[in-house]
Amino acid sequence: MPELRVVSPPSPDVPGQASDLVGSLRTYFEGGSTKPLAWRLSQMDALEHLLRERERDILAALRADLGKPETEAYSSEIGMIHSEIRLVRRKLASWMKPERVRTPLVAMPGRSYVHREPLGVTLIIAPWNYPFQTAVLPLVGALAAGNCVVLKPSEVAARTSALLAKWIPKYLDTKAVRVVEGGVPETTALLRENWDHIFYTGNARVGRIVMEAASKHLTPVTLELGGKSPCIVDDTADLDTAAKRIVHGKFFNAGQTCVAPDYVLVHERIHDALLNRMVGTVREFYGDDPKQSPDFARIINARHHARLAGLLEGADVATGGQTDLERLYVAPTILKNVRPEDAVMAEEIFGPILPVIAVPSLDAAIAFVNRREKPLALYCFSTSKAAQDRVLRNTTAGDTTINHVWMHLGVPEIPFGGVGESGTGAYHGRHSFETFSHRRGVLKKPTLPDPPLMFPPYSARKLRWIKRLL
């Protein structure tokens, strides 16, 4: 088994192997230190201090890894976590209270409730596209629920991984939270262990590996995956609004967003009008040469750059299409005359390339979506309530935003997660707390009275009464 780079204050007792690491966390968890409300809130306070005191370092790491503009980096990576922590501070005490439920007559006298308890020792595996937020946001939920955590940041976003490894041990309880850096060997070693929950964000191929590893221990998993999130635009849509919001949502973080609109299905009557507006919006947002824009991010590495450049070969480009390997740049690109069988429609694009496809009707758009795997998100631009309802009623997706894109991420009361190929389980807000909690059913009964109705010897009379009570 490969050595793990476990980040913790120097100590002769620091474990170097995955089994020792999990064992030490389990011992600490079983001691009960993470269960009180005070401990959980103290970790929220510590994370808040980390965000405020290390904000410039976080922004610099995100700029180094992905060329993220400060506004995009703050809003999507830091601001979201601030909001989550504030919500946990306000609500955690009430979330932890036992939830009274009805006790049926057959169990009376008695009192029934649901008690939420931490799962134990959990593993969070984060991706590279939002490398800080997708590591820390589930960490908030895991700590709020009272768990110990091993955090595995993405080695692809090397600067952010190093930042998490450096600063998390300086702020959080190091007996409860450890950071493991590294790549495939380290992740493989971690996945061999017996966890109480594994939370993975990334692609479906690795998601299958995670699920297979978890199955050996019957470990529950949350898989936040992705897929080709469609954007349907019907002929009643406000085109100026649709163009602005689709372009912003697609090219935010250079399209490296799991819920970015992956392709647009637009009614053929308004196809040209929408396309022209989107082309104009790209110029409005990023100028005549987006490569010079401080507001446009970069591709994570050369491998992904090559993959995206390959998707552009032979494509009919409405705007963009330029690439620069040295600067890891792919221009914000809109494609027209796209066919369903084109390579760009085969898998999630995960980059700044937006295919636009004309469809003859809303029903044709719905059928197009339903012939593919269930997406993580679906977007519909329409001013017709009947059309909106038809889309919702006849499609399936992890989440949906009407007349905007990915704004549902900012609503903590909405569970964020996929369905089918796009993932399993959900988080954000209370849903994160629930994901990392076990809902333990409890029935409390007094010792008296103890009626003989349920006990042998049985009789026809007893059975009649049981039938009435049940």
Q: pLDDT digits over 51-62, tens only?
A: 999 999 999 999
Around 243, how many Cα atoms within 13 Å sit in the side-chain half-sphere?
Answer: 20
The torsion angle over the Cα atoms of residues 437, 441, 444 and 450, rounded to 10 degrees, is: -160
The answer to whether residues 360 and 221 touch, using CB atoms and an 8 Å cutoff, is: no
Burial class (CB within 10 angstroms; exposed 0-12, middle 13-18, buried 19+) of 377: buried
Catalytic: which of 181, 224, 348, 421?
224
CB atoms within 10 A of CB 403: 16
Give the total residue count for the chain: 470
Phi/psi for 442 (5° steps) reads -130, 135
DSSP one-letter code for 79: I
Long-range contacts of 390-396 (CB under 8 A, 24+ apart): 390/362, 390/366, 391/232, 391/362, 391/366, 394/366, 394/370, 395/366, 395/369, 395/370, 396/370, 396/420
**CATH 3.30.470.10 assigned to 5-225+423-441:** no
pLDDT on residue 465: 87
Residues 6 or more apart whose Cβ sits within 8 Å of residue 373? 227, 228, 420, 421, 422
Per-residue pLDDT at 450: 86
Ordered strands of the 148-152 beta sheet? 5-7, 177-181, 148-152, 121-125, 197-201, 221-224, 423-424
Per-residue model confidence as pLDDT tens digits over 55-86: 999 999 999 999 999 999 999 999 999 999 99
Contact predicate 59/73, CB 8 Å: yes
Helix (H) or strand (E) holding 166: helix 158-171
Going by CATH, does the domain composed of 230-414 fall within 3.40.50.10490? no
Q: Are strands 111-118 and 317-319 parallel, antiparallel or unpaired?
A: unpaired
Whole-Å CA distances, 160 to 136, 143, 306: 12, 21, 23
Query: Residue 243 has what pLDDT?
Result: 98
Q: What is the pLDDT of residue 216?
A: 96
Render 80-111 in DSSP notation, one character per residue: HHHHHHHHHHHHHHHHHS-EEEPPPGGG-S-E
**Has 421 been annotated as catalytic?**
no
SS3 330: strand
Q: Which of 258, 348, 421, 434 is catalytic?
A: 258
The burial class, CB within 10 Å (0-12 / 13-18 / 19+), for 212 is: exposed
Residue 422 half-sphere exposure toward CB, CA atoms < 13 A = 25
pTM (2 d.p.): 0.93
Mode of pairing for the β-strands spanning 333-335 and 111-118: unpaired
Q: pLDDT, tens digit, for every residue of 401-416?
A: 999 999 999 898 999 9
pLDDT of residue 9: 39
Q: Give pLDDT tens digits along the chain (470 positions).
A: 334 555 443 332 333 589 999 999 999 999 999 999 999 999 999 999 999 999 999 999 999 999 999 999 999 999 999 999 999 999 999 999 999 999 988 888 999 999 999 999 999 999 999 999 999 999 999 999 999 999 999 999 999 999 999 999 999 999 999 999 999 999 999 999 999 999 999 999 999 999 999 999 999 999 999 999 999 999 999 999 999 999 999 999 999 999 999 999 999 999 999 999 999 999 999 999 999 999 999 999 999 999 999 999 999 999 999 999 999 999 999 999 999 999 999 999 999 999 999 999 999 999 999 999 999 999 999 999 999 999 999 999 999 999 999 999 989 899 999 999 999 999 999 999 999 999 999 999 998 888 888 889 999 998 998 888 88
Q: Is 284 a catalytic residue?
A: no
Question: pLDDT value at position 13?
Answer: 31
Domain ranges of the chain: 5-225+423-441, 230-414
Locate 428 and state its tokens.
């954000």
Task: Kindly state the tokens that stand for 312.
Answer: 């552009």
Sheet holding 353-359: strands in order across?
317-319, 333-335, 353-359, 263-267, 230-233, 377-381, 399-402
Strand partners, 180: 6
Q: Do domains 5-225+423-441 and 230-414 have the same CATH topology?
A: no
